[in-house]
Structure 1
Amino acid sequence: MKTYFADLHIHIGRTQSYRAVKITAANNLTLDNILIEASRNKGMDIIGIIDCHSPEVLIEIENGIKDGRYEELEDGGVRYEQTTLLLGSEIEINDERCIAPIHTLVFMPSVEKMKQFSNWMSERLKNIHLSSQRIYESGLTLQRKVKELNGLFIPAHIFTPHKGLYGSGVKASLKEVFDPNLIDAVELGLSSDTKMASKISELSRYPFLTNSDAHSLPRIGREYQKIILNEPTFKEFKLALEQREGRYIESNYGLNPLLGKYYLTTCAKCGAQADSQSSQCLICQSKRFTKGVSNRLAELADQKDETKSRPPYIHQVPLSFIPGVGPKTLEKLKNHFGTEMNILHYVSVDELKNVIPEKTAKLIQAAREGKLSLEAGGGGVYGKVTKE
């Protein structure tokens, strides 16, 4: 068995023909660029691209396989250099059971299965070419179709105020919308962690995933998991979610929730921090608020946290968040030490000091140890690192 790093929520911005896929994603977030960045710069062993249902993306993948640049693996996934691509799709559900739209992730074991899924969805979406589109079908029907195709079903960024399962989609329980038996894992999102999420008893049965939801190349790998597998394939990943045959998630690496965009409740008009019980903003008197994940989880909690029975969740600040690590410094570090995973996990402080200022090296070490001071985010604005 070996250790693999996996980030399973990455968007495509444009296809080779410059057709939009995820409209809000960067234009240079193409299939080839994602694979190059993940393999050569980030050091990600497994990535999930969640726009693979888009017909032009599927064509690019098939062409890459024909050209010999990619290799489709027998046990699922597509290999590029040191990285395995898992074929995924992000879908929005808003059936009669939902209070508000909910985003979900789906992963298919092969190109052929994803093509079948794309064809099925094309009759139920307004635009099959775009990412995160609303499916005109019930969540239960979607779950059953995914399982019919031997895929994985994972609710996405479940606590996010906008389009998260608990953030806005249900009153209190996932059973209001989904069949609990057809869920393989849940994705926490940037503003929560294992300690927070494990206070909800109905989540006790599911693995927790921490992913970047990258809308640009630099954001790839800002959250990820370390997984123990025999090989980086779809089949092995599924076994890890089931904790079978020695495969499992060893640890989750993610932002301290304070750094997420929705940790605090804020005024929806002026962005001022607000108490969750406030009826009116003290600054601008608006009565509209964006409820923070911390407040929403306090409403939902029905047990003490169960972190002892789960993989450790390690609060890790991405290199790009650390004061002093700008693009030039990051490039210098990668030129000396290779990938960002290598820099974050394996390079000693003394080695860092030989390349960058001692102060910056110590900040990277403090980030590894969770010793940085942070200012909480909310209302769509990231938190930030303030000092050591």
Structure 2
Amino acid sequence: MITAMDTRKEYYEALVRKDSTYDGIFFAAIKTTGVFCHATCTAKKPKFENCEFYLSAEEALLAGYRPCKRCTPLSFPKSLPDEVSELVAAIEANPNKHWREADFAQLGMTSATARRKFKQIYHMTFVQYARARRMGMAFKEIKSGSKVIEQQLNSGYQSSSGFNDAFTKIMGNPPKKGVVKILYASFISTPIGRMISLSDDSYLYLLEFLDRRGLEKEIEKMRRKYNARIIHGETVITQNLANELALYFKEELTHFTIPIHTEGSAFQEKVWQLLCDIPIGATVNYKDIAIQLGDKNKVRAVGNANGANQLAILIPCHRVINTNGELGGYGGGIARKKYLLDLERRMRAD
């Protein structure tokens, strides 16, 4: 989400005057209607305070907005192929659906066709699109339901039946009866995309980019592990986290002080500790870590532990590269990994 006031004002003025030169540059999301539009949308213009601006359709979808039917923002710069229009309509008819090959067959196509068509137009696959829409709805429900849940908490309801958990509809069954842990979901904008954090009053449990593959399963697993309810809200932890991340991306902070909670195997915990010991601006490879752990043949196990890290940036798995010097994989995407490494090298040079 665009947060800089000057840019937001610039985009709002372009929206008001229907400036076609801005089509494809930004997407305007309207809080009062729940849709996102092109700059040239002919609908009645909202008030400035009711607008949010995004640089990509995926960001707008993850924020819980749906495409405007009047200006069809997803058709830029040309009309949509019939197959894509049909798939978008199918998603809107059932946004919570997890698609399987048989579902595509019912529409007379294959998943490969859907993937290719969506990649050509949106620069994301059909699965990414459907997932972004589904996750956006979940996050939006968390936000809209938080006040009711907080009132119930304040009234003394402690059982699982006392809460309206937005993730229940999206990500599985409610927690078991008994002691229910409350985790607060907060959303943080960064220069390389929005992130979600989960915390309680004492620790940070999760920090991930919203478009990370497998995030739904990651959150569902955490819900089950801690018998947790997830509601929207800020804690002192997330307030401090947002401040420290802002300083980090401004190249003014090289060490995070946020208390974190991890719960992996003994091997994973050792790997994560070694990741935290990598100096800012430096990189190591998977084999280096395996050797430090006493077995050079555990490169694959190190890679798996690296991928299981749920605290992006704070546990700096982005500082691990392939033995041949290539960047290798990263849950947040290679472009983000390169951005973070370049940022940290600049800070180290200073």
- The two structures have a TM-score, normalised by structure 2, of 0.32
Flag the structure with more relative contact order, 1 or 2, with Cα contacts below 8 A and sequence separation at least 6: 1
More strand by share: 1
Larger Rg: 2
User: Which structure shows the higher helix fraction?
Assistant: 2
TM-score by length of 1: 0.30
